[in-house]
Structure 1
Amino acid sequence: MKFSEKWVIRFSIIVVLFSGLAGCSSGNSKDASSAPPNEATNGPASTDTAESKRFENRVTFSATSLDLSDDGNYMDDAIYKGFDEKFNFEYKLIPLSWDNWVERDRIWINSGDMPDMMFWNFDFKDYMNYSKQGLIKPLPKDYEQKYPNLAKALSKTGLADYLKSLDPDGRLYMVPNVIYYTPVTETTDLVLDAKVLYYRKDWATKLGIQIGDTITAEQLAELGKAFVAQDPGGNGAGRTIGISSQPYQLYSAFIQTHNSFYNQFYKAADGKYIWGGMEDSTLDGIKSFSNYFKQGFIDKDYYTFKGKEHYDKFDTGISGMFIDGASAANVNERYQAFAKANPGINPEEAIGLATVVGPDGKFHGQQNILNYWAGEVFSPKLDDETFDRILSILDYIATPEGQRLIFAGVEGKDYKMEGDKLVITREKDEQGNFKYMGDMYPSYYFFYTKVVLPDDWSAQDPSLPESIRNTAVNMFRVKEKITNLVPPDYDVMFLSAPNKERFNVVIDDSITQIILENKDIETAWSDWKKSVEPKVKVVLGEINGALSK
């Protein structure tokens, strides 16, 4: 998942022990406010006496979140005040660190001293244990009727319905955050792998090469070799690199295009689970990559990349291609970085995007991509009135009005409506770009990662150039027409079994080692498969024993 430049999701968490902050519990004070309109379901705000008094008591709750600072003031800006006017609340925000939030959350929950609302990195096994032990509070049984906008967002995650199906009482004990509330695709709600090829379109044009919306590995190789041989960037002999990216990105273009499940356990057509690493199609992809690597257009140092070195090589004109995600926010970020490094060159004219397809002409992206990330859990000590207030706030976040408040700001100041069109009018920075919402309104950092994640807004964000949004959305719509869509298989992902949980075969690392050893690929791969086969077999035994019919 790619968020804006201010927040990059880290999938590798450094776990350290929690110290310092004590848990907080809810408090209450009194004041008055009004109920929110139910915009997403096109219902007017209720005017009956009971509803108007629903938020009469002012409440206070504690909540954790990432991207907060210890000395931040999160109750003075217009975003918080917009929520406060509707819901009459104060919050005590507790910052989480990327380094320690997973372990800190676990300690808080197990100690029974968790804050009222906690931003939580979902773990299935922990979820089942916490819910059974009463360590986290379930959503009300009637939440779908009482909070219809929130319920709609939860249904989009897929996870919420799955978790309810496992509970004896059909209860849900968390609010998973949906990534795409409004799908960028036309025919499906399933989330597609966002990775695409970014290439120097101006270089290709200079060489008389035309690339469409899709590109095969063979065409990619021809383009890369042409960049190296003809040096359209004028780097000098031997200095231009065809493509530069991290291993997993390159393997998505050259190996995964042969087998979508090359690195996963998955259910085959006969209903039995297999491991993609053992299939002949995976070997075909590895042989293909090895052959192309020997041709010299792939960055010879690709295996050393730890971060974003490939960005620098592309922006400075050393490399002509890279693989990366193509959310609208990421495309815009890449264009801006390129423009900064190349004054006078229009990035929209210089950079092209294409979907890499397999030998069959289909898109074979990463499978089992989930439409949620992290979520909110609640203290079992939380009183019902405060819980209702929190859920009402989350329900409002899942409305168009709530999303506008968070991501567009104040109407009349930060944006205006021209009919159905939202026009951004907020301040710009020295580079002429609209200022980042978090720099203007600190409370943005709390609200923007709740219920609906920023990816959803980025696909329609009017602060981004329309041409960039269209470019990003087009890549998703190209893919959905040329892929075999497979719903996430929660059963196998969440299956708890001893050998499956200990399975530590990292196939990308093994591929890299075999490529660099420069041995006969078939022999080396055969030897490697024999070495890991015992581990694979016992895991498949557990999976098939539990899930196969």
Structure 2
Amino acid sequence: MTKLRKWVTLGAALSMSFSIAACSSDSGEKSVQKSTDNSKRVKLTMASVQGIEGFNYTNGDAVAKYYSDKFNYDLDMTALNWDNWNERLRIWINSGDMPDIAVYNYIHADAASFVEQGLIKKLPDDWKTRWPNVAKVFSKTSLGPQMEKAFGGTYFLPRARFMNNLPGDPLPNHPAVYIRKDWAQAVGFPIKSAYTTSEIIQYGKLIKEKDPGKVGDKLIPLAENTNHAVELFVARNSTHYNNFYKDKDGKYKWGGASEDTLKGLKLFSEAYRSGVLSKDFFTVKNEEHGSYFNVKGNAGATYNQAPTSNLQTFFSDFQSNTKLDPYQNMHMAIVLGDDGNYHQEDLINFWGTIIFNPKISNEKFERYMSVLDYNSTQEGNIITNMGLKDVDWTLDSNGKVKSLFDQAKEGKPFGGANGKYPSNGYLLGSTILFDDFAFDNPNYDQRIRDLSKQLYAEKPKKGTPDTFTKVDWNLYAYDSPSKRKAQIDYSTEYANLVTMQGDIEANWKKWVDSKMPIIKPVLDELNSKLAK
């Protein structure tokens, strides 16, 4: 996910409204009564990314207090960060020390191991009838039902990226390239809706040579971190760069050894060695590279997250920091491989899964499931996105939702550490991500929503069945000791190949050979058990 910062700075156009049907979670109007007695207050412990360290998620703002009062709980939150999210949870789960609830970044090999060892809770067999609104969201995620079949029960509750506004099938990923439009025009670089990776490098070289923004030594032609650099150069040229896949001949292959991956690595190497990428891009923390573009203003471009719910913040930050109109001085586009096609595996309609400690009491479990069920209704989904009814939004005489939030009057943004509601985000029990609601949210500038729809729609159009592929669920759910051993941090290892001395192709060939002892056993298994 999908890693998205959702603390949204809300802009103008607040008089806009939209129908409840348009933003509905399609999950029913009412939450059924549970056996939980809410008269007894419970303390819930939880761990997730996207939290604010030290913030009081029980009553630190009015929305947090609304939920804790409504469901009679105290919420003790551990705020993880992007860099420690996977490892911290892995350690806690394996040691039996995980909190009551966690948002887990689903990795199938680890997930299968957790289930096998009984390290996370299996939901009761009747959970779908007890919490039907959660069940409707679950059914839309694809991953949920598939893993339910694989594990013989429900252990993971995936959070749906989209409910009513699914932008494509297969599902496109969010990132896009942000380009300084004014700089591009100054150096004669064309403004288009899509660029190949080679064209992005060309743009970076022009910016580096001519420095149209007069940035000087601080200029970064293309600001990236390790993950997004690999996404831009390798993933956009190699559909299966970090996975196994079934080739046209019916046999399973390893994407790390494909010629497409080598092509992407050569482009990555060119960008690094020509100075288009910063020499220390690999030291930039996760998700912080975009700040060189929209905060510091010394980057010519950045390949970054671009979901609808993120764009308002990005555009607003660009304007407030550079004092330039983002609609006149920024351009966004999708990135294609050098073959002219869009490359990606189906994103799958989820990001992050909710899991429970196997020792959680029934009382705590049922209480939190009630929170999830409420937030899967129309009312709960609107509150998680827009704040309190009759304070931040209301219904007009036609039953349409109308925003009451005015950032100018409030003197602060809606969410974020310095916002009206620092709790705004996914930590108060969301099963539907902001990506879906954002297309209809009247607090977002219509230009943002239109641009985002265009970016999502372009990707499937530019892909082919071979370059933008559907999910191979047999492969996705395949598990074995050999497969678990073949876990590779592709982003780090590809960055290492590019930054080490020597010829990139020679470095890559040595790397492929070094991985074969863990890769070949998996290929042998896949081709004997799954290949036709």
Q: TM-score normalised to the size of structure 2? A: 0.79
- Cα deviation code 1:43-86 (max 9, x no counterpart): 6669xxxx88978873544422243777837269654676688x
Tell me the equivalent position of 2:480: 497
Tell me the equivalent position of 2:161: 179
Tell me the equivalent position of 1:474: 454
Tell me the equivalent position of 2:508: 525
Tell me the equivalent position of 1:149: 133
Change in Cα spacing, 1:506 to 1:135, as seen in structure 2 (3 Å) is: closer
1:197 aligns with 2:181: no
Of 45, 49, 67 in structure 2, the residue corresponding to residue 64 of structure 1 is: 45
Residue 212 of structure 1 and its aligned partner are, at CA, apart by 1.7
Query: What secondary structure does 1:178 align onto?
Result: coil
Tell me the equivalent position of 2:142: 158
Residue 172 of structure 1 and its aligned partner are, at CA, apart by 1.9
- Cα deviation code 1:174-219 (max 9, x no counterpart): 433223333440x43x432212111001112234433121112232
1:434 aligns with 2:416: no
Alignment size in residue pairs: 501
Query: What secondary structure does 2:76 align onto?
Result: strand
Tell me the equivalent position of 1:74: 58
Tell me the equivalent position of 1:254: 233
Tell me the equivalent position of 2:320: 340
How far apart are the structure 1 equivalents of 2:248 and 2:309? 37
- Cα deviation code 1:10-33 (max 9, x no counterpart): xxxxxxxxxxxxxxxxxxxxxxxx
The AA in structure 2 aligned to 1:206 is A
Query: What secondary structure does 2:159 align onto?
Result: strand
Query: What secondary structure does 2:154 align onto?
Result: coil
> Contact (CA 8 Å) 1:59, 1:89: kept in 2 or not?
no
How far apart are the structure 2 equivalents of 1:125 and 1:278? 21
* Segment of structure 1 superposing worse, 372-381 or 385-394: 385-394
Tell me the equivalent position of 2:265: 286
Change in Cα spacing, 1:423 to 1:101, as seen in structure 2 (3 Å) is: same
Residue 4 of structure 1 and its aligned partner are, at CA, apart by 3.3
Of 66, 69, 73 in structure 2, the residue corresponding to residue 91 of structure 1 is: 73
How far apart are the structure 1 equivalents of 2:146 and 2:34? 35
Residue 357 of structure 1 and its aligned partner are, at CA, apart by 0.9
> Contact (CA 8 Å) 1:414, 1:425: kept in 2 or not?
yes
Query: What secondary structure does 2:343 align onto?
Result: coil
How far apart are the structure 2 equivalents of 1:119 and 1:503? 24
Tell me the equivalent position of 1:416: 394
> Contact (CA 8 Å) 1:375, 1:450: kept in 2 or not?
no
Of 315, 319, 335 in structure 2, the residue corresponding to residue 356 of structure 1 is: 335
Tell me the equivalent position of 2:531: 548
The AA in structure 2 aligned to 1:466 is Q
1:534 aligns with 2:517: yes
* Segment of structure 1 superposing worse, 396-405 or 98-107: 98-107
- Cα deviation code 1:117-159 (max 9, x no counterpart): 5555556567656667777654444444443321111012222
> Contact (CA 8 Å) 2:271, 2:277: kept in 1 or not?
yes
> Contact (CA 8 Å) 2:104, 2:352: kept in 1 or not?
no
Tell me the equivalent position of 2:195: 215
> Contact (CA 8 Å) 1:264, 1:276: kept in 2 or not?
yes
The AA in structure 1 aligned to 2:135 is A
Change in Cα spacing, 1:506 to 1:106, as seen in structure 2 (3 Å) is: closer
The AA in structure 2 aligned to 1:4 is R
Residue 375 of structure 1 and its aligned partner are, at CA, apart by 0.3
Residue 445 of structure 1 and its aligned partner are, at CA, apart by 6.2
Residue 414 of structure 1 and its aligned partner are, at CA, apart by 0.9
Task: State the 4+ residue runs in structure 1 displaced beyond 6 angstroms.
Answer: 51-57, 68-71, 132-135
Of 446, 450, 461 in structure 1, the residue corresponding to residue 441 of structure 2 is: 461
How far apart are the structure 1 equivalents of 2:3 and 2:114? 29
Structure 1 residue ranges without an equivalent (≥5): 8-38
The AA in structure 2 aligned to 1:544 is N
Tell me the equivalent position of 2:373: 395
Query: What secondary structure does 1:480 align onto?
Result: helix
Change in Cα spacing, 1:429 to 1:101, as seen in structure 2 (3 Å) is: farther
Alignment of 1:260-275 (within 5 A): 260-275=239-254
The AA in structure 2 aligned to 1:209 is F
Of 376, 380, 388 in structure 1, the residue corresponding to residue 355 of structure 2 is: 376
- Give 1 or 2 for the bigger CA radius of gyration: 1
The AA in structure 2 aligned to 1:332 is Q
> Contact (CA 8 Å) 1:286, 1:511: kept in 2 or not?
yes
How far apart are the structure 1 equivalents of 2:215 and 2:422? 44
Change in Cα spacing, 1:173 to 1:536, as seen in structure 2 (3 Å) is: closer
Q: TM-score normalised to the size of structure 1? A: 0.77
Give me the identity figure in percent.
25
> Contact (CA 8 Å) 1:314, 1:321: kept in 2 or not?
no
How far apart are the structure 1 equivalents of 2:504 and 2:521? 26
- Cα deviation code 1:233-280 (max 9, x no counterpart): 1235x7644322124323333333331112222222333221112122
> Contact (CA 8 Å) 1:248, 1:508: kept in 2 or not?
yes
Change in Cα spacing, 1:78 to 1:499, as seen in structure 2 (3 Å) is: same
1:327 aligns with 2:307: yes
How far apart are the structure 2 equivalents of 1:415 and 1:466? 18
Tell me the equivalent position of 1:29: none
> Contact (CA 8 Å) 2:26, 2:378: kept in 1 or not?
no
The AA in structure 2 aligned to 1:400 is Q
> Contact (CA 8 Å) 2:375, 2:431: kept in 1 or not?
yes
How far apart are the structure 2 equivalents of 1:140 and 1:275? 38
Residue 394 of structure 1 and its aligned partner are, at CA, apart by 2.1
Change in Cα spacing, 1:316 to 1:139, as seen in structure 2 (3 Å) is: closer
Residue 325 of structure 1 and its aligned partner are, at CA, apart by 1.0
* Segment of structure 1 superposing worse, 155-164 or 479-488: 479-488
Larger RCO: 1 or 2 (CA < 8 Å, sep 6+): 2
